Every structure is written in C-alpha cells, then in structure tokens.
Amino acid sequence: MTDVARGAALLDAHEHKDLLRLLTCGSVDDGKSTLIGRLLADTKTVFEDQLEEAARASTKHGTTGGMDYALLLDGLLAEREQGITIDVAYRYLATERRAFIVADCPGHVQYTRNMASGASTSDLAVLLVDASAGVMEQTRRHALVCSLLGLRHLVLAVNKMDLVGWQAARFYAVRDEFVGFAARLGVPDIHCIPISALSGANVARPVTEAQAPWWHGGTLLNHLETVHVAGDRNLVDLRLPVQLALRPSADFRGFAGTVASGVVRPGDDIVVLPSGRRTHIREVFGPDGPVACAFAPMAVVVTLRDEVDCARGDWLVRPGNRPAVATSFDSLVVWMHEEPLRPGARWIIKQCTRTVHAAAEVVRYQIDIQDLRRHEADVLPLNGIGRVGWRTSHPLFIDPYLRNRATGGFVIIDPATMRTVGAGMLLDRRGDIGGAAVVTATERCGRLGHAPLGVLLPRDVDVAGLERRLFDRGLFAAIVGDGEPHRVDRAAALLAAGLVVLLPGGAPSDVGSAPVLALENASPGALDAAATAIADSAARGRPT
C-alpha cells in the first residue's frame, strides 16, 4: 500500500468513527476544565504550540503551581484572570476507538443556562465532584438538569483523589451519597470513577497499584470509549419538521428538513401536521442525491405524491404514530432569566422549526434542588426548575420529552429582546416526568418490609437457590454476579433502591458504606440457615 493510499485509508477510518457528545459539569473548582485539558494532552489531540502557550500562561494565570491544563480550555481573558469557566467551550478529540465532542460547562450558579445549553445536545455527562468537599448543591442541580434534559448516561468522576490519599472509604462515601440522590432521577446508567485530573491518574492512564490497590474498574477514558449510546436513538417515531419549502422550478416541489427521529423511505404513508392531510413520500434526497432511506440526524429533501399545503413549522409523521396536537399543555421548565417567570407573561416558544406565541397560565410547583421535593410556587425564579402550564396561539405537537428528546423540548424566547430565557421539556399528558418525587429510605423500607443489605457469599454458592428462599420469605433480592461489568455501581444502585444484594465472591469494598453481612458457609445444606440469617439482618436494619 502506498503512502497516499495509507493516508486515505486513515482519513476514511477517522471520518467513520463512532461519535460521542459529552459534557463536563459540576460545582465550582471541581476540575472540569483541568480534566478536559488533561484528556486533550494525554490523547495528543492538542498541538505543541498550544501546549507551549498554555505553559507560558500558567506562569501568569495558573492556579496549580505547574502546568495548568485548564488554560487549554479557558480562553477568555476574564476566565483566565478569575480562574473560572464562564462560557461553554467545545473541544474535539479522538482515540483509535471513538471521536468525541466535549463541552466544558461552567460551574457557577449564575451560568446554569450555559450548562443547560451544553447538556441539551450531549449523549453523556461527566459530573465532577471534589473528593475532599463531597456532593454540593450545584452537583445536585447539574445532575437534575441532566436528567430533565434526557441524558441516559452519567459518569460521577470523583476528582482530586490525590488530596485525600486515594482513600477507598472517601470515594465510597461520596459515591453512596450521590447514588442515593441520583436514584430518584431516573437516569438508567450511572458509573462512578475515582480520578486525579491534575496528575492524570485514572484519566487516560490507570492509577497505580501503590496508589489505589482497591480500584479495578478501569480508567475514565476507557469507559468513554466503550459506553454504548447508539441504542438511545429513537428510530420508531417518525418526526420530520419541515424547515423550508423548495420550489426551484415548476417541475420540482420539495420540503427540506432534518430527520428528528424515526426512519423515512420512498413510498411511506405520512400525515402533515397540523392540517392532518395524508399523502405518500415520492422521493427522499440526501446531500449526494436520492437515498433509499433516511434517519436521524440526516438532512434531507422529500417530495410528496400529492399537492398538499405544507410549510415551515409543519411536521411529517406516520398516520398511526402521531403526537397529540394541543394549545394547552404542561412542561417542566428550567428558567434562565433574571426576571422570574410569572403567570400571564407572554413569550415565544420555539419547538424544532415551529414558532408560536405563548402565555404561562400557572406555575404548579418548583422542585427543591436539595431533596427533589415539590413546593408550591407562584413564580419561577432565575435557575429555578418547576412545572408550568401553558397556552399557545397556535397548536404545538406534544411528544413527551422522555420518549423523544429531539422533539419533546422547546426554548422560551423573550419577544422584546429575542433572548432565550428558558428551556421546556414536554410532559406526558397522563402525568409528570419521572424522577421528581421523593421516596425516602423509611418509606422504601416500609413498602419492602426490610432494609437494604449487601450479602458477601462464597463464589461457588447456589445463589439462585438462595434468592428463591429469600423470595419465599418475602424479601426482595437481586444477584450481582462475580465479574459482572460495573459490579460496584450496580450493587450501589440496587442498595439505594432498598434491595438485598447477593454478591458471590464479593468484598466489603463492593458495597461501600451500606450495611453488609458476610456468610462463609452457604453450602447447599446450609441455604435455609443462610436465608434466615439474611432475613434477620435485613429486619434489624429496618427503621422503626
């Protein structure tokens, strides 16, 4: 193979790498910019002259006493002078396995709107926590915003582990506190990793055995390279918002737009919303000509068999799978304006390509960031999150945000200044978006009839037989197998949900600070005795 052919093959492989969009978020000074700077340097995605300039700037603006990797991200003069992140900074990096678009989001409360902007287009969030400070209010706020914006993958990066001597107890304490909070958010994939962004330990290179002999979970970069996000796409609900009607000549009339979700093919039976007119797709064109099918997020032009009225803001959907069309609806709102959101105020709502005038009818409640409880509220203040009832001048298409991120969200615009002042997530008309209500540990124990308990068992135990005996005694148990991926995080989530977790070959570090029972004898003849011991321990831990 010639050098030219080899170079062309490398470029082609790079262009077709799987892409992961992620953001870093968390409280102030938890090391978000430093982490991305370290990733850029360790993956050799930053030029030498950029490293040299950052090294020179570190002597003037640095805060670490040496090379300040955060300066590879914080480019604004105000950011460097104050040592903080103000605006969202996007960086691109790639490894042999995957390409990444990384959004570095600010941690200050006043810049929550910037963080929400970065989260709205991300597949995964890396939420940083200072190991010495623990989970802060802004940590909880960013986790809540991520869950509301539909992120299905969350990595808790417990940073600055070097400042606490890489103590396992400290990592597990932070992990358990956060997992207990996040269990109520409904995020299906939470992974916890200890790191030191400044030294690079466990970021791209593994932490040494001498530093953390207790950690066997892999590096942060390895998790980012292997996490599966392709299944998050909605390929079921066809939603094609029309952006532009094209009429270059009398012989051609097409409709341009980006496929938000689902798949569209020539011959498909479709409905134009809001008119309800039915027709068929004649042709589908991509950037290079006709295509056999198109899916999100492809930009396409479609032609229709019939001459139907269709313009910007209309949607093309399937007849048997169409969203509700309504002028009155509820949504969760993240408010980003200094002036509170008040009932009666008039705004502009933009949903995909559709723009309508709207009025907030009622603020139903505000969510408390600390405990996720709902409180009655008359207004929604800056950075407040709550449920709002709306009425619009023209119909909006109601796709619940949890089902369809691409079409279930909208932005709220001030008609006087045309500034974005809020973000909304449409709710299922049957009820609320998941995860806002609080279930306390006491309530959970009362419903299950026992307290959570981690049970350490020999590797050769008949764990299925033991689970059956516990089930027959009325206990809710789950098995986390030896060698199962993300075993520690799965066990933590199940314990936070109040279950008895059976861990063959388990160690105390697998359950962190949760109650634990170690059984050395769980032979087939001793399963009944083991089940009795587990039931007694779980009952003793139940609050009275």
Q: Is residue 432, in this structure, part of any structural domain at all?
A: no
Angle at 523 between CA 519 and CA 529, to 5 degrees: 60
CA dihedral of 222, 226, 229, 231, whole degrees rounded to 10:
-160
Q: Is residue 433, in this structure, part of any structural domain at all?
A: no
State whether 344 and 271 are in the same domain.
no
| Residue of 158, 149, 153, 195 whose CA lies nearest to 178 | 158
Predicted confidence at residue 429, as pLDDT, reads 61
Q: Which two three-digit tokens encode residue 7?
A: 């170079």
CA dihedral of 38, 43, 47, 49, whole degrees rounded to 10:
40
Where a domain ends, among 317, 346, 379? 317
State whether 257 and 112 are in the same domain.
no
Distance between CA 449 and CA 469 in Å, rounded? 16
Q: Would you place residue 38 in the very low, low, confident or very high pLDDT band (cuts 50, 70, 90)?
A: confident
- Per-residue pLDDT of 78-95, as tens digits, reads 444 444 444 567 888 889
3-state secondary structure 429-449: CCCCCCCCCCCCHHHHHHHHC
Q: Would you place residue 188 in the very low, low, confident or very high pLDDT band (cuts 50, 70, 90)?
A: confident
Q: Is residue 4, in this structure, part of any structural domain at all?
A: no
pLDDT over 50 (residue 433):
no
Q: Would you place residue 215 in the very low, low, confident or very high pLDDT band (cuts 50, 70, 90)?
A: very high
pLDDT over 90 (residue 196):
yes
State whether 55 and 140 are in the same domain.
yes
Distance between CA 542 and CA 544 in Å, rounded? 6
Where a domain ends, among 268, 302, 317? 317
State whether 453 and 333 are in the same domain.
no
Distance between CA 427 and CA 402 in Å, rounded? 8
Where a domain ends, among 204, 232, 260? 232
Highest mean pLDDT among 166-175, 183-192, 448-457, 524-533: 166-175
Distance between CA 78 and CA 433 in Å, rounded? 38
User: What's 496's domain CATH number?
Assistant: 3.40.50
User: What's 82's domain CATH number?
Assistant: 3.40.50.300
Mean pLDDT of 191-195: 95
pLDDT over 90 (residue 125):
yes
Q: From edge to edge, which strands make up the β-sheet containing 18-26? A: 89-94, 98-104, 18-26, 124-130, 153-159, 189-194
Q: Is residue 1, in this structure, part of any structural domain at all?
A: no
CA-CA distances (angstroms) from residue 7 to 12, 19, 218, 299? 9, 21, 32, 29
Predicted confidence at residue 544, as pLDDT, reads 41
Q: Is residue 254, in this structure, part of any structural domain at all?
A: yes
Distance between CA 154 and CA 143 in Å, rounded? 8
State whether 196 and 288 are in the same domain.
no
In the chain, count of helices (H) and strands (E)?
A: 12, 27
H/E element, 346: strand 346-351
Q: What is the mean pLDDT of the chain?
A: 85
CA-CA distances (angstroms) from residue 341 to 7, 116, 328, 391? 55, 17, 17, 14
State whether 223 and 126 are in the same domain.
yes
CA-CA distances (angstroms) from residue 279 to 249, 314, 396, 458? 22, 14, 21, 64
State whether 153 and 246 are in the same domain.
no
What is the number of other CB atoms lying within 10 angstroms of the CB of residue 212?
A: 21
What's the predicted TM-score (pTM) here? 0.69
Q: Is residue 300, in this structure, part of any structural domain at all?
A: yes
Contacts of 59 (CB under 8 A, 6+ apart): none
State whether 447 and 384 are in the same domain.
no
| Residue of 366, 388, 383 whose CA lies nearest to 375 | 366
Angle at 203 between CA 152 and CA 208, to 5 degrees: 130
Q: Which two three-digit tokens encode residue 127?
A: 């939420």
State whether 169 and 194 are in the same domain.
yes
Q: Which two three-digit tokens encode residue 294?
A: 């198109």
- Per-residue pLDDT of 434-458, as tens digits, reads 444 445 666 677 778 888 899 999 8
Q: Is residue 255, in this structure, part of any structural domain at all?
A: yes
Distance between CA 158 and CA 283 in Å, rounded? 51
Domain total of the chain = 4
Q: Position of tokens 């942060």?
A: 220
Predicted confidence at residue 481, as pLDDT, reads 86
More confident residue, 376 or 10: 376
Q: Which two three-digit tokens encode residue 102?
A: 């990384």
- Per-residue pLDDT of 267-306, as tens digits, reads 999 999 999 999 999 999 999 999 999 998 899 999 999 9
Q: Is residue 127, in this structure, part of any structural domain at all?
A: yes
State whether 89 and 159 are in the same domain.
yes
Distance between CA 366 and CA 363 in Å, rounded? 8
φ, ψ of residue 33 to 5 degrees: the values are -65, -35
Angle at 239 between CA 237 and CA 240, to 5 degrees: 155
State whether 266 and 376 are in the same domain.
no
Predicted confidence at residue 435, as pLDDT, reads 40
The range of the structural domain enclosing residue 287 comes to 240-317
State whether 136 and 222 are in the same domain.
yes
Contacts of 60 (CB under 8 A, 6+ apart): none
User: What's 385's domain CATH number?
Assistant: 2.40.30.10
φ, ψ of residue 77 to 5 degrees: the values are -60, -45
Distance between CA 250 and CA 228 in Å, rounded? 47
* Residue 383, CA atoms < 13 Å, CB-side half-sphere: 16
